[in-house]
Amino acid sequence: MSDWTAGYVADIGYTFGYYSELNPQRIKLAFLNAGLAFPEIGAACELGFGQGLSTNIHAAASIVSWHATDFNPAQAGFARQLAAASGANAHLFDDAFADFARRPELPDFDFIGLHGIWSWISDENRAVIVDFIRRKLKVGGVLYISYNTQPGWAAMVPMRDLLTEHFDVMGVAGQGVVPRIDGAITFAEKLLATNPLYARSNPSVVERLKGIKAQNRNYVAHEYFNRDWLPMPFSSMARWLAPARLSFATSAHFLDHVDAINVTGEQQGLLHEIPDAMFRQSVRDFMVNQQFRRDYWVKGARKLNALEQSEALRAQRVVLLQPRADVSLTLTAGLGEAKMQATVYAPILDALATHQPTTLGQIEHAISGQGITFAQLVQAVVLLTGTGSLSAVQDDAAISRAKPYTARLNAALCDTARGSNDISYLASPVSGGGIGVSRFHQLFLLAIDRGKEQPVEWAQLAWEILASQGQMLLKEGKPLETAEANLTELTALAADFAVKPLPILKALQIG
């Protein structure tokens, strides 16, 4: 009997993650910051969509037609359920990559995305994907791909191999996946406790194993326990993608766009001495000990001239996703913690405090006379987008067309929140993507949708839902034992929700 899983973990579901790098709206700002022309995205494809949350959110929140596949039928079934709820233009399959690539009805794509796939599949499947990209990505089209990379994973590769060997050899199949994972981690801890020379030469492995032990087991199963797992240096990725005629465009991780927070002045000087852009990426990975890359590649890069770039940047709209007072001016990047300059960032955030879509040109006008250059404004927008405080905004026509689909999808997700806290995102037609919304906030939105007008009523409905399942809130790590205590805490949460998150969600046309 053939193994339809091809060595990929399939008997435990993947997490319900959302990945903003797959949002076509995000591409525009990244490309403009890099001085590159970007395509208008009409048709998009995601390979290996997991639970399908990103695909469904992006299909509902935009006017883009999406085609996607994930070979796990249970995950594909859930994704199709979401697609049916929204009615969006999403065509979802449970094909293996080779079967999906042969589908005659697939259009040519402006955008193809893979998140968390490349490092965990066989070379055979990688070849299928590259050939698919070669044939189906349009000229000017963009590929998003993320993968584990060297040198950041170099020390961990032998330990990962040991974990999977214990899983296969010492674990008992009838135990199920999670006990076998736990057994492998426990054994690795015992090994490291003997202070082997490997651990003394690679001290970071001890902390890495502690991190693995604390992580969600669904994530751990898919991250570490597939048969195939290959952290790949950037140069190898470039060789793989060469037959598809792709060139590296820019990082999809916006904090990577600013060297000053990632590499030292001396390191920047060395990078500037390297004329080859591809080799420069390889060297930079050593400087930051890169372990996970999120990149945009393009089939036929076209540089914008200075006027084209500045005009397109000034026309780009963004929106503030957090209460103005809650935006932190501290971030963590390659050099550790960094402080954003308040004299630059405060006026920009003040100009966005209404949570209305605003062009960079309008921000520039609002802050004129405060000594802030346009280059500083662009860098601030990029960094604030990278920290999750800002999002790019699509045009008004797309917002209007997407809103009915996001409303239906969000209603289904909020209904799901009654019995689960698995999904913590809703779809915004303004951003064209997902916005983090906790389970309690989803339940409050559900109450509002049911005609409840006051926070105390939202709290009452949420408590009725939780109590019917024997669930209680935690406060300071301890469960609240009485109905009164739970209702009091929920009412306080609802009152805060009414003042802070709700106005922003309304501005984002969620709920």
Q: What is the pLDDT along the chain (511 residues), one digit of tens a residue?
A: 344 344 445 454 567 899 999 999 999 999 999 999 999 999 999 999 999 999 999 999 999 999 999 989 999 999 999 999 999 999 999 999 999 999 999 999 999 999 989 998 999 999 999 999 999 999 999 999 999 999 999 999 889 989 988 988 887 777 788 889 999 999 999 999 999 999 999 999 999 999 999 988 888 887 888 778 889 999 999 999 999 999 999 999 999 999 999 999 999 999 999 999 999 999 999 999 999 999 999 999 999 999 999 999 999 999 999 999 999 999 999 899 999 999 999 999 999 999 999 999 999 999 999 999 999 999 999 999 999 999 999 999 999 999 999 999 999 999 999 999 999 999 999 999 999 999 999 999 999 999 999 999 999 999 999 999 999 998 888 899 899 999 999 999 999 999 999 999 999 999 7
Rounded CA separation 313/474 (Å): 45
Helix axes 73-86, 53-60, angle to 10 degrees: 20
Rounded CA separation 259/271 (Å): 10
Residue 457 backbone phi and psi in degrees, to 5: -75, -35
**Model confidence, pTM:** 0.90
The correct answer on CATH 3.40.50.150 for the domain covering 20-151+230-298 is yes
Domain ranges of the chain: 20-151+230-298, 157-224
What sign has the CA pseudo-torsion 79, 85, 89, 91? positive
In the chain, the amino acid numbered 161 is: D
**Is-contact 46 68, C-beta < 8 A?**
yes
Helix axes 455-467, 439-449, angle to 10 degrees: 110
